[in-house]
Amino acid sequence: MPDHRSWRRRLYANLHPPAWRRRGLSPLNRFIALAIVLAVGLAILQSEPTLYVGNEWIFRALELVFAVIFLAEYVGRIWIAGENPDFGPTLRGRLRYALSVPALIDLVALASMFATLMGPQGAILRLFRLVRIVALAKIGRYSSALNAIGQAIHSRRYELSMSLVIAGLLLVISSTLLYLVEGEGQPDDFGSIPRAMWWSIATLTTVGYGDAYPITPLGKILAGLTALTGIGLIAMPTGILASAFSDALQRQREAREESIKKREET
Amino acid sequence: MPDHRSWRRRLYANLHPPAWRRRGLSPLNRFIALAIVLAVGLAILQSEPTLYVGNEWIFRALELVFAVIFLAEYVGRIWIAGENPDFGPTLRGRLRYALSVPALIDLVALASMFATLMGPQGAILRLFRLVRIVALAKIGRYSSALNAIGQAIHSRRYELSMSLVIAGLLLVISSTLLYLVEGEGQPDDFGSIPRAMWWSIATLTTVGYGDAYPITPLGKILAGLTALTGIGLIAMPTGILASAFSDALQRQREAREESIKKREET
Amino acid sequence: MPDHRSWRRRLYANLHPPAWRRRGLSPLNRFIALAIVLAVGLAILQSEPTLYVGNEWIFRALELVFAVIFLAEYVGRIWIAGENPDFGPTLRGRLRYALSVPALIDLVALASMFATLMGPQGAILRLFRLVRIVALAKIGRYSSALNAIGQAIHSRRYELSMSLVIAGLLLVISSTLLYLVEGEGQPDDFGSIPRAMWWSIATLTTVGYGDAYPITPLGKILAGLTALTGIGLIAMPTGILASAFSDALQRQREAREESIKKREET
Amino acid sequence: MPDHRSWRRRLYANLHPPAWRRRGLSPLNRFIALAIVLAVGLAILQSEPTLYVGNEWIFRALELVFAVIFLAEYVGRIWIAGENPDFGPTLRGRLRYALSVPALIDLVALASMFATLMGPQGAILRLFRLVRIVALAKIGRYSSALNAIGQAIHSRRYELSMSLVIAGLLLVISSTLLYLVEGEGQPDDFGSIPRAMWWSIATLTTVGYGDAYPITPLGKILAGLTALTGIGLIAMPTGILASAFSDALQRQREAREESIKKREET
């Protein structure tokens, strides 16, 4: 069947991003990306009772639409796995694709969607909704700009994880000090190191909810020092990332100059 | 009428920034920029009842002064459009100027001003005041330093929008987790994903109003992780922009060195 | 009187920082810097009633000690102005020194100190205490590291002031939007643009006191966007400063390499 | 005893990080590092009454396990000091090791552990727990990535301490202004400069607990300016650190290029 094969090849080019020859995403993949964002948005809005109650049928209808779209996409992906040299046209190749991580994520997202449609409403379904949101991560698959950020983070992974370790140390030290100073007076907020940690993380990250704060003069002085340290905690990873991005840029520029020089020499 | 034309030419040089031969803005444009800032300031203060009530006539008189200034400016700009080679001295050229975006913004700002003077006070006028503030954007037209910042942002638009996408993903994930953990106990603040998002955006941006915060131990641990992630959200765009500004600077310096070398060779 | 002149010359070398030949500050100037910090600290603590009431005599005695030290310093500086080639040994030169800005700051700080000692306690003296704190700025005179930071800020003064203008625009836009959306429901916090500005500045700078926050869904969405914009407001000046510091460093390194090359050639 | 000595040599290679020939830490040291982290975690959890009360025997048993591990480690370190050329195999050498700072930290951490096991529960033991957390700093001894961050901070120590001085100045100025403006109306929060400092540090670091904030229009304007200054306070150290990390990276790259050039020349 040459007709069947040519259709499969066309769908493969449209559905499998690396097989698309033009720049960017194919129209079909753009449509799927949009559908994922909208489906996640729907799941988010559905959790709000004031929106959901009374409009159940709208949500169910839209869910059904998305379920059909993603089921069609899933079946399509299984079908075109035959075109993919990584899997091959045999049944075994398709099974191997169906067991690959992206395909399993698709399946779980689909399953949670049908669970919402058929199963009883309840607390257990909340967890399925969470899985559905994971589907949004698929957009990352489409993006190459994300790689640039990922590489910058990867090239400084030791320094960045060291600033996490320093953050952890500061968290332990400041929580312990505040527990010692404020523990007697405010047992609810500072009566143990884990309790003081809640205050400490809010202060070190400069969030500052204001539900817990020291009231003794010494506690306030220590809290002030903790807040100042928090600025350092922001400055360290920012400085590390800034240098990583600068470095990546300069390497790119030098590589370009190198290639221009070589062309001029020949 | 040579006299009439020479006056028009002089006004054109003073009112149309690119036609001004000396450095910076012409005195007339500086005066207009100042008037815009003051008129916006007046509109802001006017919205405060404790200032406005009892002093209506002062606000009305000042508004009239600004209305006359901006009307004169508008008429002047229509008149000098004849000097502008882009529009030409015909009636059609002037009409084309009057329909250009900056002229329409001027007209809307003017209209809102007269609406306040003549029309009835009411909720609908509030929206006109908002349009009036748009007039402040005109100052951007005068500024070239803004371009430098704009170019730095433009050169990293993909990376910056990717950090927005990452921010969105983190927002969805943290809201969903907190909704699952805190939703039962605090239905008002975490009873749905959109409700938890309000807490999440305040935490990820390290604003931390403190109107909503988790109370269970697991919720607090997840909130602490969210707050730490928030530091990353600040660090990413800052690092990207820092490298963009460094890059722009280095390119400028290299261009200067290049031109010095060339001069030395000749 | 050769003896009198040699004493004056020695005091000049010790009191006038540029006349000190060794590295850093002279021991005398270090002592004066310490005294300024302690005097400012004393003025700060004195404002606290729970510390001051009952211990008035300690504060008065310490103030007297500092007053004597700074009076002696002031008289010394007038005397040694004769050694300074900028002013000269005549009476007119000394008068010119006494009317120079640093000498006048010293005099005002001294006067406020004596005012506290002699005059009646009261609200008006509070303002004098503020002037006294200005004396701390003298430490800046001693420091050269401050210059490096000052130059970095100066070299990017246009970009930094542009980010202030952008901050101002965002402040006006977000306040107006929140006033329109939340003004009806929360007249105390959002009932006018200036009132909404208090919320807006706390959100844009990510401080987030939590005394005012939107309660309507649309208001919360706009507030979330404002908070995200606030991250941009932090990222912009940070990126500008980071590039300024990098640039200054690189120029220093290149200058050093240049000088090494020249030495090698000769 | 060649057998005894060979055992000691093997333990030395496993316990003394610089004596380990392969990359990273020896398995034994990794186990000890893990034990320290777990022991600190146990001490943190133990301070929480809702966890400790009723489970005392679990905490005591785990503490005993850690005490045995760290006692064995301590005895081992004393024993292998004989292998260390810095101390030597004599009794005096071992005593010198026992009096070195790391050994004393180990001993204090151990002592606090036994104090918890044997001594009476009470407020005084809280302080011992704090000392136990210091033991976590030992992990720093194992890490070389920390050095990179330390060097970047060290190379900019003058600029970073200058931004601390500027922060201090801004703290004093903003506290004094708010004390003058808000002191009358809110004596509890702004009735003295030290009290206003608590508000000021929370605002300058953008923490913003929201327990204290100005209520007068002038106070709010000054607070807004303080909050804007706080962004500068975050931007300065971040920019300084970013340039320090960039500089360190570029020097590394240049050193690598230099060594490649030299190899090519030979």
pLDDT tens digits along A52-73: 888 888 887 888 888 888 888 8
Average pLDDT over residues A90-101: 82
Instruction: Give me the pLDDT at residue C24, please.
Output: 64
| Chain C residue closest in CA terms to B208 | C208
Q: Flag whether pLDDT at B17 surpasses 60.
A: yes
pLDDT above 70 coverage of chain A, percent: 84
- What residues of chain D lie within 8 A of the CB of B238, using their CB? 238
Residue-wise pLDDT for B57-75, tens only, equals 888 788 888 888 888 888 8
Q: Which residues of B181-210 are buried (b: 16+ CB within 10 A; e: fewer)?
A: bbbeebeebbbbbbbbbbbbbbbbbbbbbb
ipTM of the complex: 0.83
Tens digit of each residue's pLDDT (9 = 90 or more) over B98-146 = 887 767 777 776 776 666 554 434 444 445 545 545 544 444 444 556 7
Q: Among residues C169, B164, B195, which one has the least CA distance to residue C177?
A: C169
Cβ atoms within 10 Å, residue A185: 13
Do A208 and B208 count as a contact with CB atoms less than 8 A apart? yes
Q: Which residue of C has its CA nearest to B139?
A: C165
Q: Helices (H), strands (E): how many in chain D?
A: 13, 0
Give which of B124, B192, B207 to mutate to test C binding, by max C Cβ within 10 Å. Answer: B207
pLDDT at B24 over 70: no
| Contact criterion met (CB below 8 Å) for B179 and B195 | yes
Of C163, C49, A220, the C-alpha closest to D200 is A220
Q: Which residues of C touch B233 (CB under 8 A)?
A: 231
What is the C-alpha to C-alpha distance for residues A237 and D152, in angstroms, rounded to an integer? 13
Mark yes or no for CB contact B209/D210 under 8 Å. yes
- What residues in chain D have per-residue pLDDT under 50? 1, 118-126, 129, 132, 135-142
Instruction: State which residue of chain C sits closest to B167, comparing Cα positions.
Output: C228
* Per-residue pLDDT, C13: 85
Domains defined along chain B, listed by start? 2-142 (1.20.120.350), 152-265 (1.10.287.70)
Q: Would the pLDDT of B256 be above 70? A: yes
Query: pTM higher than 0.90 for the full model?
Result: no
Mean pLDDT highest for which of B50-64, C26-40, C137-151?
Answer: B50-64
- CA dist B236 and A212 (Å) reads 29
Chain A positions touching C206 (Cβ under 8 A) are: 206
For residue A86, give the nearest of A70, A75, A100 by alpha carbon.
A100
CB pairs under 8 A between A and B: 134
pLDDT of residue A128: 52
Residue C195's contacts (CB-CB under 8 Å, 6 or more residues apart) are B48, C179, C188, C189
Closest CA to C203 of C162, C183, C233: C233
Q: Tell me what pLDDT residue A240 has.
A: 87
Confidence band, pLDDT 50/70/90 cuts, at residue C119? very low
- C-beta of residue A234 within 8 angstroms of C-beta of residue C242: no
Q: How far apart are CA B160 and CA B162, in angstroms?
A: 5
Question: Does residue D231 or residue C121 have the better pLDDT?
Answer: D231
Contact B137, C169 (CB under 8 A): yes
Which has the minimum average pLDDT: A150-154, B154-158, C130-134, D75-79?
A: C130-134
Measured distance CA(B32)–CA(B70) in Å, rounded = 8
Interatomic CA distance for residues B19 and D201, integer angstroms: 49
Whether residue A119 has pLDDT greater than 50? no
Burial class (CB in 10 A: 0-12, 13-18, 19+), C182: buried
- What gap in Å lies between CA A167 and CA A230, rounded to an integer? 9
Residues of D within 8 A of C129 (CB-CB) are 176
Residue C169: what pLDDT?
Answer: 82
For residue C242, give the nearest of A208, A209, A242 by CB distance. Answer: A242
Kindly tell me the sign of the dihedral angle through the C-alpha atoms of D220, D221, D227, D229: negative
Q: CA dist D101 to C56, D72, D108, D109, D245, Å?
A: 45, 18, 11, 12, 31
- In D, minimum Cα distance to A174 occurs at D130
| D137 CA: distance to closest CA in chain A (Å) | 8
Q: Which residue has the tokens 């100037």?
A: C29
The helix, strand and coil proportions of chain C, stated in percent and rounded to the nearest 5, come to: 80, 0, 20
CA distances from C207 to B209, C199, C201, D171 (A): 8, 10, 8, 15
What whole-number distance in Å separates Cα of residue D219 and Cα of residue C133? Answer: 19
Residues with Cβ within 8 Å of residue D82, at least 6 apart in sequence = D8, D88, D89, D90, D93, D94
Most confident option among B163-167, C37-41, D190-194:
D190-194
Cα Dmax for chain D: 84
**Cα–Cα distances in angstroms (integers) from residue B56 to residues B44, B94, C63, in the given order:** 14, 37, 52
- Whether residue B183 contacts residue A48, with contact meaning beta carbons closer than 8 Å, is answered with no
CB contact under 8 A, D48 and A192: yes
Chain D interface, best mutation among B216, B220, B238, B240, by max D CB count within 10 A: B238
Contact (CB, 8 A) for A192 and D59: no
Count other C-beta atoms under 10 Å from residue C29's C-beta. 19
Confidence band for C123, pLDDT divided at 50, 70 and 90: very low
Burial zone of C207 (CB within 10 Å; 0-12 exposed, 13-18 middle, 19+ buried): buried
**How many other CB atoms are there within 10 angstroms of residue D258's CB atom?**
10
Q: How far is CA D39 from the centre of its chain?
A: 16
Q: What is the mean pLDDT of chain B?
A: 79
Close Cβ partners of B196 (under 8 Å, ≥ 6 residues apart): B174, B175, B176, B178, B179, B182, B183, B189, B190
Q: Is the pLDDT of residue C67 over 60?
A: yes
C-alpha–C-alpha distance, residues A213 and C42, integer Å: 27
Cβ–Cβ of B161/A139 closer than 8 Å? Answer: no
pLDDT recorded at residue A114: 60
Partner-chain residue, chosen from D167, D238, D243, that has the shortest CB–CB distance to A234:
D238
Answer yes or no: are the C-beta atoms of C224 and C180 closer than 8 Å.
Answer: no
What are A189's two structure tokens? 């907020």
* CA separation for the pair B172, B201 (Å, rounded): 10
Residue D132 makes CB contacts below 8 A (sequence gap 6+) with D39, D40, D43, D109, D112, D113
Neighbours of chain B (3+ CB pairs under 8 A): A, C, D
> Using one digit for the tens of pLDDT, what is the confidence trace for B237-246?
888 888 888 8
Q: Which residue's structure tokens are 């120079």?
A: C100
Element (H, E) at C206: none
CA atoms of A161 and A169, how far apart (whole Å): 12
Q: With 80 as the cut, is the pLDDT of residue B254 above it?
A: no
Q: Tokens 């923490």 map to which residue?
A: D207
Other beta carbons within 10 Å of D234: 27
Q: What is the pLDDT of residues A142-200, one digit of tens each?
A: 455 677 788 888 888 888 888 888 888 889 889 988 988 998 899 999 988 899 999 99
* C191/B146 touch (CB, cutoff 8 Å), yes or no: no
- Range with the lowest mean pLDDT among A71-75, A129-133, B88-92? A129-133
The single-letter code of the amino acid at D145 is: A
CA distance C100 to C118: 27
Annotate B4-45 with DSSP letters as a single string: HHHHHHHHHHHHSGGG--SSS--HHHHHHHHHHHHHHHHHHH
Residue A186 backbone phi and psi in degrees, to 5 = -125, 70
Alpha carbon distance B236, B97 (integer Å): 43
Say which residue the tokens 């991580």 belong to: A101
- Residue A85: how many other CB atoms lie within 10 Å: 7
Could you say which of D208, D234, D245 has the minimum Cβ distance to residue A208? D208
Angle between helices C217-265 and B217-265 (to 10 degrees): 40
Give me Rg for the CA atoms of chain B.
Answer: 26
**What is the model's pLDDT at position B190?**
92
Closest chain D CA to residue C210: D210
What share of chain B in percent tops pLDDT 90?
15
3-state secondary structure of D2: helix
Higher pLDDT, C63 or C132: C63
Stretch (H or E) spanning D17: none
Token representation of residue C218: 């649309």
Going by C-beta distance under 8 Å and a sequence separation of 6 or more, which residues neighbour residue B217? A194
Decide: B247 and A246 in contact? Cβ < 8 Å.
Answer: yes
What is residue D99's predicted lDDT score, i.e. its pLDDT?
85
Greater confidence (C130 vs C66) lies with C66
Cβ A135 vs Cβ A78: under 8 Å = no
User: What does the mean pLDDT of chain C come to?
Assistant: 79
